[in-house]
């Protein structure tokens, strides 16, 4: 039985991944900041016959990460998905104006926390059969892709772009440094997905795909993750993205 752990699983992509893995009869550990108010997760857990477990986790809180490790003990984790993330701050992060605290907070959540969580759960990964470490990144973290000055959203996302580039770099390092343990690392762009992050969950959003469609693609790529392609930066359709 595959055991999957997902951070930020109460809404958006994290929730869609949890629902699909649960439907596929995996054991799913779903982490969120506020389990009490995570209605969709509570519903998923209640209908899962004990296969879905909710654990509280604020990815910025070292005590919370340590409590997660305590709750898991030696339990093997086949697939660890670092999904929780933010899109920067409500303030613009642009060539003209940087909100320093917002930048640091974005880096902390999107880039530092996934590495700290991976380190805390390294032994759980090692004890598993699949040993897959996954980061939900973004093509906006690509330094090589030039989006031009025409896209307001992209030109205002300096902190987010830097955070995803740093995430990619950290995950690439773990792909190299933990290869001897058999750990394989997937750095995945989910596409432009209709979630709260992109401003709307409904079909009217400018984002091009649903969370379910993206999650299905991500799960396909995770299933195809091997030693040979570990540390690659891909999208949900399996296309490689330039660093």
Ligand X SMILES: NC(=O)c1ccc[n+]([C@@H]2O[C@H](COP(=O)([O-])OP(=O)(O)OC[C@H]3O[C@@H](n4cnc5c(N)ncnc54)[C@H](OP(=O)(O)O)[C@@H]3O)[C@@H](O)[C@H]2O)c1
Could you tell me which of 42, 29, 83 has the C-alpha nearest to residue 59?
83
Q: Which of 3, 19, 83, 124 binds ligand X (CB under 6 A)?
A: 83
Closer to ligand X by CB, 101 or 196: give it.
Answer: 196
Q: Of 29-37, 95-103, 122-130, 229-237, which segment contacts ligand X by CB under 6 A? A: 29-37
In terms of DSSP H, where are the helices of the chain?
Answer: 12-23, 39-46, 62-72, 100-107, 113-120, 122-126, 152-155, 158-177, 211-223
Does residue 28 interact with ligand X by CB under 6 A?
no
Q: What are the residues whose beta carbons fall under 8 Å from the beta carbon of 205, sequence distance 6 or more?
A: 194, 198, 199
Per CB under 6 A, which of residues 90..119 are in contact with ligand X?
A: 109
Does residue 59 interact with ligand X by CB under 6 A?
yes
Per CB under 6 A, which of residues 189..208 are in contact with ligand X?
A: 189-190, 192-193, 195-198, 207
Q: Which of 4, 18, 58, 124 binds ligand X (CB under 6 A)?
A: 58
Q: Work out how close the CB of 236 gets to ligand X at its nearest, in angstroms, rounded to a whole number.
A: 10
Q: Which of 18, 20, 81, 85 binds ligand X (CB under 6 A)?
A: 85
The two three-digit tokens of residue 104, written as one number:
């640091």
Q: Work out how close the CB of 224 gets to ligand X at its nearest, in angstroms, rounded to a whole number.
A: 19
Pairing relation of β-strands 52-56 and 3-6?
unpaired
* Annotated catalytic residue, options 21, 147, 158, 160: 160
Closer to ligand X by CB, 89 or 179: give it.
Answer: 89
Q: Work out how close the CB of 211 gets to ligand X at its nearest, in angstroms, rounded to a whole number.
A: 7
Q: 49 exposed, middle or buried (CB, 10 Å; 0-12, 13-18, 19+)?
A: exposed
Q: What are the residues whose beta carbons fall under 8 Å from the beta carbon of 5, sequence distance 6 or more?
A: 28, 29, 31, 72, 77, 79, 80, 81, 121
Q: Which of 3, 8, 170, 215 binds ligand X (CB under 6 A)?
A: 8
The CA distance from 78 to 233, in Å, is 20
Could you tell me which of 68, 67, 64, 28 has the C-alpha nearest to residue 47?
28
Query: Which residues lie across from 222 on neighbouring strands?
Result: none
Q: Work out how close the CB of 217 gets to ligand X at its nearest, in angstroms, rounded to a whole number.
A: 12
Does residue 42 interact with ligand X by CB under 6 A?
no
21 is catalytic: no
Closer to ligand X by CB, 142 or 230: give it.
Answer: 142
Q: Residue 49 phi/psi, 5° resolution?
A: 65, 35
Convert 191-206 to b/e letters by CB count within 10 Å (16 or more is b): bebbbebbeebeeebe
Which of the residues are catalytic? 160
Contact residues for ligand X, defined by CB under 6 A: 7-8, 10-14, 32-34, 57-60, 83-86, 109, 136, 138, 189-190, 192-193, 195-198, 207
């Amino acid at each position: 039985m595959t055991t999957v752990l997902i951070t930020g699983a109460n809404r958006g992509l994290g929730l869609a991944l949890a629902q699909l893995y649960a439907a596929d009869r995996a054991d799913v550990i779903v982490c969120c900041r506020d389990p009490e108010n995570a209605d969709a997760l509570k519903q998923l857990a209640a209908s899962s016959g004990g296969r879905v477990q909710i654990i509280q986790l604020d990815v910025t809180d070292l005590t919370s990460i340590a409590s997660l490790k305590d709750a898991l003990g030696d339990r093997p984790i086949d697939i660890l998905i670092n999904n929780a993330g933010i899109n920067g701050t409500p303030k613009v992060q642009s060539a003209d104006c940087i909100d320093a605290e917002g930048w640091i907070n974005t880096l902390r959540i999107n880039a530092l926390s996934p590495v700290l969580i991976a380190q805390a759960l390294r032994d759980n990964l090692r004890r598993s059969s699949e040993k897959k470490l996954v980061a939900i990144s973004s093509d906006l973290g690509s330094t090589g892709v030039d989006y031009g000055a025409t896209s307001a959203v992209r030109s205002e996302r300096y902190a987010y772009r830097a955070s995803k580039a740093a995430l990619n770099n950290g995950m690439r390092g773990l792909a190299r440094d933990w290869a001897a343990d058999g750990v394989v690392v997937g750095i995945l762009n989910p596409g432009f997905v209709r979630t709260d992050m992109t401003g709307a969950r409904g079909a009217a959003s400018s984002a091009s795909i649903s969370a379910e469609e993206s999650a299905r693609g991500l799960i396909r790529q995770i299933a195809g993750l091997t030693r040979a392609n570990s540390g690659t930066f891909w999208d949900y359709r399996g296309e490689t993205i330039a660093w």
